[in-house]
Amino acid sequence: MVNFQYKENYGLEDFRAIMALLRGENGCPWDRVQTHESIRRDLLEEAYETATAIDSGDMENLLEELGDLQMQVLFHAQIEEEKGGFTFEDICDGACKKLIRRHPHVFGKMELDTPEEVLTTWDEVKRREKDQTSTAQEMRSVAAGMPALWRAEKIQKKAKKDGFDWPDWHGAREKLSEELGELDEALACGERIEEELGDVLAAAVNLARLLKIDPERALNGSTERFIRRYGRMEELAGQEGQALAGLSLDEQEALWQRAKREE
């Protein structure tokens, strides 16, 4: 039993104290053995659950998920502090200094009037901080752990700053057709299939970007429609006293088209 003072309401320092207790000698056996690497996936999952709460508009859930996300930050800070590395104060200090540096129009004398100007300045300051002298260096700094569609989109946006971009979506649509043709050739010869399929996906992301469509959101929307229609297919098959898995592909396709028309 740890020495802990229960309260009606808790604050940030209480949050930190609880994390330290969980990691302490008389704390939780699971929490004590965790490392940065072992809880890496937990951090990503909490971030995605937070995004899901935002998308659903569920503010009660968002409140909870933001707490879970903050817990992951404190968890990593506690692990590092125990090792004699950085502390939570170091995290706050670094983040505050970064915000000050990258908002010269707020904390300095620069005048910026539009969100676009702010983003451009942010990127310029970031590039100087990281001593990046080329766009390729900027591209390499984009986290490889990002969802692949978002990473591709972000790298394409960096190329756009150098003028390497289509003037509108029509060129990107033609490029997508070209890449599909190259995929067909790869399938025919049985070589470079993964490479050409990757190029098709990249071309699709480029088209989405120029259409101002979030590719991750578009794909998730397609996946949700698939789940909804598949559920309806199962219902329709059940109404006929059949299991969907027992139907032929043609029969399943007929149910799919019916489910699609009903939407």
- Predicted confidence (pLDDT) per residue in 21-65, tens digit: 999 998 999 999 999 999 999 999 999 999 999 999 999 999 999
DSSP the chain: -------SS--HHHHHHHHHHHHSTTS-HHHHT--TTTTHHHHHHHHHHHHHHHHHT-HHHHHHHHHHHHHHHHHHHHHHHHTTS--HHHHHHHHHHHHHHT-HHHHSS----SHHHHHHHHHHHHHHHTT--SHHHHHHHS-TTS-HHHHHHHHHHHHHTTT-S-SSHHHHHHHHHHHHHHHHHHHHHTSSHHHHHHHHHHHHHHHHHHTT--HHHHHHHHHHHHHHHHHHHHHHHHHTT--GGGS-HHHHHHHHHHHHHH-
**Distance in angstroms (rounded) separating the CA atoms of residues 201 and 106:** 40
Q: 209-240: per-residue pLDDT in tens?
A: 999 999 999 999 999 999 999 999 999 999 99
| CB within 8 Å of 158: residues ≥ 6 apart | 135, 138, 139, 142
Q: Give the pLDDT mean for 191-197.
A: 98
| Average of per-residue pLDDT across 112-117 | 94
Question: pLDDT band at 91, cuts 50/70/90?
Answer: very high
122-178 residue pLDDT tens: 999 999 999 999 999 999 999 998 999 999 999 999 999 999 999 999 999 999 999
Share of the chain above pLDDT 70, in %: 100
The mean pLDDT of the chain is: 96
Closest C-alpha to 172, from 116, 216, 212: 212
Share of residues in the chain with pLDDT > 90 (%):
97
Identity of residue 65: E
Measured distance CA(119)–CA(121) in Å, rounded? 5
Mean of the pLDDT values across residues 177-191? 98
pLDDT at 3: 78
- Give the residue from 211, 215, 90, 105 showing the smallest Cα distance to 153: 215
Reported pTM: 0.79
Under the banding of pLDDT at 50, 70 and 90, the label for residue 1 is low
For tokens 């032929």, the residue is 248
Across residues 92-100, what is the average pLDDT? 97
Nearest to 209, CA basis, from 144, 153, 140: 153
Confidence band (pLDDT; 50, 70, 90) for 5?
confident
Cβ distance 75 to 34 under 8 Å? yes
Contacts of 185 (CB under 8 A, 6+ apart): 196
